[in-house]
Amino acid sequence: MTRMETMNTEDKDSGVDVTRIEKLRRIEKKAIHATNIEDWETVEARYSEMLRLVDGWLAPGDPNVLLIRTHLTEALTNQGKIDQAIDIHHDLLDRIEPDTDVEKAILNQVLHLQIAVVEMLLPRNRGKDALNILQNALEVSVEGLGRKHETTDSIRENHSRVLEWERRNIQKRMDRLKAKANRRDKTVPVTAATGSPIYSPQTTPEIRLPSSTADTFDNKAVGLGICIAGDTRLNTEHPDVQKLKQRTAKERRLRGFWAPPSTDWRADQDEDGHGTTCAMVAHKVAPNADIYIARVFKDRKHALEHAVNDWQVDIISMSFAISKNDKKTKEAMSAKLEEIKDKVLLFAAASNSGRNDGRAYPAKRPEVIAIHAAHGGGGPWKNNPLPSSDDAHNFSTLGMYVETPYTGQATKRVSGTSVACPVAAGIAALVLEFCRQPLVTIKKPERLKHKKGMEAIFSQMYNRFEASKAGKEEDYFYLRPWKLMVVKDTDDDTAAAWHRVASLINEAFGEDYY
């Protein structure tokens, strides 16, 4: 073990705090003893104590501080606290400047600890995280230690090994999907937003989708940020919401909450269930996406600003409407939508008012993708607004008679475009995550979070629903994500399936994109 050799305890005239150094030596001796007997909890405690002693006394980039933090990460890793260790590793690699032999030795030690962390990530099925760590470590090692250094060679070999492991793991998931080619129907476990007396268990059958769709969702949804913006609170006491809150920190899906000053985002009872429902439907469609809740009233502009700048979400789902007469709010919000349109995907519920008023605001804004409701067979909800002549797509997705959390521990079935909106947001999250997989190459990734880009991808999914009634034709484009994200019998292997889907997305981003 490398010890703290750089502190001078003899030069008392230099103003060095000898008493503090001697105390550090005593603590370090205890830490080394604990390391030798593999008492990692004590090792963590001792090096944490040393960090407190040097805080404000030595600079963060001092070799002694770097060394203490390196040993601390070893203790964290051996206790399974790998995410804490990873965070410290990243900071260390940013601070270490390998100009001296001591700093090069510390860098070498950190890189070897990162390899150890990778070995712990694989059993947790976190191959993508492992690849990212090794890729960064390889770049640092080449620059700091050299291309031919043995540590660089070791990192390169581990990167190749983990990449092959990830390929095999993806192949297994694809094989499981192929095995379910019979596509048994099952009830989609998603929730709705606004109820309607038109639909009831007696008049409307359960909404069903192929189980292969749910399986595809399960295998593609990881790590995206979705902001649910609504007018009501979140029922934090409902069992379904509790499950999302009580997971481990790494798996916890409810990540952030925002409300205007003097208001609260939470309540034991969400009065109409709207906020709770919208959050849960997004989670059910994209179960591993991070969910952020923004309770919006007159402060919608700042809610959007917070979601984009502070949370840095990928998608904002807006299941609300602003009154036609509220011109001041609409003007402020329109300016904000124009400002953020290239930073985040914006979805909004089209309207629940039928054919009388057309699309609601903000769904009618050009920066926003408006979403209509449909039943599981693709047919439109009767209370949708008429298709807009200004919109070439008029997307619809599942939003009728679906189960949602209700008061207490109960659930109920409701319908509306408010549920279809977070369903579409969840589908977009699946697309974004697929495009971030290590085996997928998107030629123009900047277009993924542009409205026109996602519309182009959605166009690969829809089934044009044509209905003629009383001499009028109504066209909605019903999203079928399994039409795009599915394993086909013609796919020879994993690489072929992923390449085919990626090719369709790249094709959507053709030269005539703009």
The answer to whether 418 is a known catalytic residue is yes
- The span from the CA of 451 to the CA of 364, in Å, is 13
Longest dimension (CA), the chain: 99
100's CB contacts (< 8 A; 6+ apart) are 63
Give me the catalytic one of 71, 274, 375, 450.
274
Q: What are phi and psi of 293, to 5 degrees?
A: -110, 125
DSSP H helices in 37-148? 40-54, 63-78, 82-95, 101-121, 127-144
Q: Give the bridge partners for 346, in sequence order.
A: 316
Give me the catalytic one of 39, 91, 218, 231.
231
Give me the catalytic one of 141, 196, 396, 418.
418
Q: Do the beta carbons of residue 75 and residue 40 sit within 8 Å? A: yes
The answer to whether 112 is a known catalytic residue is no
CB atoms within 10 A of CB 8: 10
Q: Do the beta carbons of residue 300 and residue 368 sit within 8 Å? A: no
CB atoms within 10 A of CB 273: 27
Please give the structure tokens belonging to residue 152. Answer: 């660089």
- The span from the CA of 460 to the CA of 335, in Å, is 31
The answer to whether 274 is a known catalytic residue is yes
- How many alpha carbons lie under 13 Å from residue 162 in its C-beta half-sphere? 27
Q: Give the bridge partners for 33, in sequence order.
A: none
Q: Give the bridge partners for 228, in sequence order.
A: 293, 317
- The span from the CA of 380 to the CA of 373, in Å, is 6
Task: With residue 171 as reference, give the H or E element that holds it.
Answer: helix 150-178
Q: Do the beta carbons of residue 344 and residue 449 sit within 8 Å? A: yes
Q: Give the bridge partners for 462, in sequence order.
A: 479
CB atoms within 10 A of CB 459: 15
- Catalytically annotated residues: 231, 274, 418
